[in-house]
Chain A
């Protein structure tokens, strides 16, 4: 299954046998006071700097979220998307829980974007799926519903089925659906990491869709977060995840190593190139 997203000059292919696609998570004000303040003041300089830094760190796609208290996402999201497009020419992932903000961003976007996200909740499916269809985008489906984020893998799988079914009924091709199994903090519940890995395996086998993961959540509230994140992303990729929403500068090295071991880096071109780059500096 191949999922294609694009910016004016660049197409990115997500799929098995391809190198793992890295989606930069850092344009997101949650937990970042400075960025949140700048966004509220309409100052987009930090955003552009962050976009450039992530692209240079090897991000294939950039997630763009402006959701924070006191911000009008409907006005701000398209502005920030425009500013990022003017800074880097790689595909974007338009990130908001507000369908109106998503539509406003879709109107200014050039190319085929990712939309982050739809959930298994009735109101979300009803509002977001028609936008995905109308604008020819790719949608990320989060496996949560009216009852929240599932604790076990079974309910995650069931919600994934529901989202795929509803999306296809709305005329969206299966390759334009990506499922996010929702990593939760292992610090709060030490069995939650395993539930996610199991869900990834089952959804891959039963639905064949591409899968993503906002992976950094797994280490929330624990020391040595990078260590945990790195262990987790490798397991996720082995289980079937084909793109990751992560802090690219930190996660790319271990993913290049994993891709090489898993035969998606022929003749180790990417792995060695990164090594050379690193040692030139």
Chain B
């Protein structure tokens, strides 16, 4: 294998090292990665803690949303019941669907990633543990606030996809819809933060030698999942922002009377919403591909095919969004293209399913609880997949659209594709985090009750749907033949609820998190996560030579625990992890990890408060909360990018690597680039929205400001980019005044970005553009608002850079902070220039 970074792979032969390790190494690791005490539990940031909190919170939301489902089913058990009023039912199905999708399914798998990935990859932790903590707390606070809106009758009631015009101010005048828009927008930010963490973690924190072909299936799935989040979620951020702007400021993006179009919402929502289904499915599939080989005690059949299938699923999921819109009257040929694409999805999904079946056939299946859940999920998912192919056919979809057939289909896919695999994962991996595994006897009860309960609930719904029962109705008339299937469905829901209750009891009886002892590798799993671990993860980071290291690398467990691999101690006396290269996982440098801090939590509290206060239109308190949030982020970042006392460190067997890295190969750079990709996606989708709205009513669009204004707008943006680049170059020159000049240039650059924005705004104001009059003006102002937000952040960053310079925290050998700020400013300038060119030149005068 050719080296990717110049690292000589022969050096791996030095491991496992021989001879005893010096005394005190383990104690030092334990001291550095110590257990939190008292209130420190809240500010803990390692994945062992945050991962468990995260999974726990996701399960809490699952139970709460499930409770709503049982109440809905009770209401629907018999015709004309009055247990839930119509409005309450509307709120219940909206909150149930929204919580299951946004507060359970996505966060649950993300949580599983945070919990498992470091151990699975042989890292001490994911690269940005404070970001994980922030993402978790933001999600918990936002989610609880969202759920509690039910108690005040303020919960959203427009369905989980919130279509306008139903959700417009005319038909939903209260703040219920705003709770959805602001709440979900906020929770998605937390999901994106988690995704950035996962991408950088999987690509840069793998154990040395763990090249792509030795990467666990779950890590592949999480990588693709996280990339999909980065691409898909910006769409919902844009959609919710536009809708909120329409509701709050009367900018008519979705109002056809003033040049808007409700179809735009559907495009934006489903461009996110359909990939969301695969975003949920892929990690669960990754878990299944990890659990099935362990349960069948044989390698996964067709590892490479399954990797390809996951990638293909990720790609195609972005090409099928309009199959949710077959009934909206799109042109026939467009509908046919989407229909064909939808059917093509079954190819990669089929590859995975056949790989699992082949693995089960090739090995010796053990019917323990994780095995049962994995196989139960497979069966249920295949059934949902088959009805999926049915509704991919347009004529059938026209019949089944908005009926209970769809409710049955979506639950089969989601429960088979995510819930069962997730339970399999809990039963399989729990011994890793608890001193006791869950009870096998009870687990089997849980599985069989849940499996039968789910099928009894949802199988009859296909029939109810085909008999004409529409979805989202709070009751129905007798004598339509719907009574019996509805009663059966309710009975099934009760069985499922009993299963969940049993599981909760089992968890309460057996789960002992954060103990000093783990139950161990009770299922004989082959992955690194089954190595003995402490809060520091593995004692030493092994060299990986196999896809199934614990099965194939003899004595690995013993040698790892004896400290005979990389990082047997703390090389710098602090928290640290090895950063490796993307393809071959060659050691590159030692990343210093942050210590626990309350600031990310306070930042989450204040950002959540800012969003919530915004929802109830308390603008000033919201602003104050926002400012406090920024203050917390300043404090959070302040301790990062500090001087290092050792330039290189021995990470084991005499191999030395740098302890600091700036530029494109550093983890910070990667995180910033990914953040900017999110910004870029929002921008691209906004550009799509702009062109889409034009295509609806080209005749109504008015000419832009005179072309002469364009160079004046572009010039400050170009200058800002140039100054930012110059700042980084000058800092690296390491002259006496480099720090000062670089700071002045950066502050100047952020000021210029602001200037470009003001000039653009002036140009449109000058020709009398009113954002409330027509969708064109609304779109132009939406671009301005987005750019204004970035310009504001650039200004805040400029202020931060100045403060760091004043505090003497800027030095030529530690340029990361300035690099990242410059990257952001350059992007903001590019974004402003792109938006200006688009709205000035298209469709033109």
A and B, one complex? no
